Structure 1
Amino acid sequence: MQNFAERFQQVCSQIRHATGIAGRPRGCVQLLAVSKTKPASDIAILYRLGQRHFAENYLQEALQKQLQLAAFNITWHFIGPIQSNKTKSIACHFDWVHSVDRLKVAQRLSEQRPEHLPPLNICLQVNISEETSKSGVSLTELPQLVEAVNGLPRIRLRGVMAIPEPETSYPKQRQPYRRLYQAVQQLNRPELDSFSFGMSGDLKAAIMEGATMVRVGTALFGERHYI
């Protein structure tokens, strides 16, 4: 528990520090604890320390942990690749989806979101570095996808998510986030208020360029071990 507490406090401190340097209001950046490959018991420890938002990449693993943690008031985020045959389970069991990169997936999530649940919050994944190995819509395609997705009834389009090509230089880390943030601002859509930017290695750069959610795994949980 002590190691978890120390890591959690350190990450929260880093977020507060970066937010202050950026001149942004305290509390404007949400920490998403990336809990893929981590057991439910680890999630429970972080929950008791005050963490409420958890992000998962693998659907079946996530569903198992959601059953084990049903008594906890967790906000669940799906951040992994989305196959069409998995959209129903995602639509039924998550509060946020960060990895929507095509209209077909958004349509299926909208059609399959249960009526008794609030609209599903989604972010559009943008391939900001134009890497062939990564999913995501291009910057030039983004306005058209925003327009098409925005009118779907059972989802709420909230913003964008990006995983740029890794860089060690702080100025270079900032550049792709700045391009994407500015592109979204130019769309003039106030409802696009969420920017799922940044991980442990580029957290400061992401927050400087407008991140409202940062995705952190190893820095919180320690090295991966499989359940």
Structure 2
Amino acid sequence: MSTIEKNLHRVGEQISAAALLCGRSPQEITLLAVSKTKPVTAIEQAMAAGQWAFGENYVQEGVEKIQYFCQQALAHDLSWHFIGPLQSNKSRLVAENFSWLHTLDRPQLAQRLNSQRPAGLGPLNVLIQINISGEASKAGILPDQLPALAALVAELPHLNLRGLMAIPAPQHCYEAQLAVFAEMTGLFTQLREQYPSADTLSMGMSDDMPAAIAAGSTLVRIGTAIFGARDYAASTD
């Protein structure tokens, strides 16, 4: 058993334990393996252990990996999520290669992605990023901007509004983490009432995953705990 396989098994156990502790089914929570800066050999080891959903933060690096796996027999089983900040001049690469975007944060970007998405790929699944902690340095929209952006996305034929994503300010207290995530869950509940296709709440990383799951996260983004420390010098962006 490879180290990555052992790590995936350990993370899976942690997800199950957190879910059961709050009365949820572990099957309600998707594990997104954040593979940024990691080589395709590491992704192949994760695939061998049954992991099929991967998150990338850097556009060119992610596209190169996607194109590599497009040549493999199992490529159609992979789900590629772009989870980093997206500059407008790189939106076409995301629209043409990825299945998901977690960081939609402005109307102009939504319109660009919609016009650039190839019809043969089907709609791009998008999550609206919420700056739930109100940090000036953090991407995402403020909660009161959500209705307008959601309404726009819902009208664009080549985008599929799937839910919300957040990266809260770091909190070392479980109760504080839970309180912030609960705010996100409230926004998500309101969104689902108007847009039934919204089924994904992407929140929770290694340091705050239990609180995110307790609050209602349906997708957690885990990288270092699976693949080990990252080498940011390896990024091609």
Instruction: Give TM-score, length-normalised by structure 1.
Output: 0.97
- What is the CA-CA distance between 1:192 and the residue it aligns to? 1.7
Instruction: Map Cα deviations across residues 161-182 of structure 1 (whole Å, 9 max, x no partner).
Output: 0000001100101111111211
> 155, 158, 168: which is aligned to 1:164?
168
Aligned position for 1:44? 44
- What is the CA-CA distance between 1:65 and the residue it aligns to? 1.4
Q: In terms of mean alpha carbon deviation, does 166-175 or 67-76 score higher?
A: 67-76
Aligned position for 2:66? 66
Q: Is the 8 A contact 2:15 2:26 kept in 1?
A: no
In 1, the alpha carbon distance for the partners of 2:189 and 2:169 equals 22
> 179, 192, 198: which is aligned to 1:192?
198
Aligned position for 2:210? 204
In 2, the alpha carbon distance for the partners of 1:222 and 1:186 equals 37
Aligned position for 2:90? 86
Q: Is the 8 A contact 1:44 1:69 kept in 2?
A: no
Amino acid of the residue matched to residue 95 of structure 1?
Answer: S
Number of residue pairs matched?
227
Amino acid of the residue matched to residue 115 of structure 1?
Answer: A
Instruction: Map Cα deviations across residues 24-72 of structure 1 (whole Å, 9 max, x no partner).
Output: 1231100000011101110010011100000000011111112222213
Unaligned runs of 5+ in 1: none
Aligned position for 1:12? 12
> 141, 147, 157: which is aligned to 1:143?
147
- What is the CA-CA distance between 1:141 and the residue it aligns to? 0.9
Which 4+ stretches in 1 moved above 3 angstroms? none
- What is the CA-CA distance between 1:184 and the residue it aligns to? 2.6
In 1, the alpha carbon distance for the partners of 2:188 and 2:128 equals 11
Aligned position for 1:111? 115
Among all aligned residue pairs of Structure 1 and Structure 2, give the percentage whose two residues are the same amino acid.
44
Instruction: Give TM-score, length-normalised by structure 2.
Output: 0.93
Amino acid of the residue matched to residue 26 of structure 2?
Answer: R
Aligned position for 1:223? 229
Instruction: Map Cα deviations across residues 100-147 of structure 1 (whole Å, 9 max, x no partner).
Output: 001111111111110111111000000000001110000111112111
Tell me which protein shows more helix as a share of its residues. Answer: 2
Aligned position for 2:183? 179
Unaligned runs of 5+ in 2: none
Aligned position for 1:100? 104
Amino acid of the residue matched to residue 68 of structure 1?
Answer: Y
Amino acid of the residue matched to residue 80 of structure 1?
Answer: G
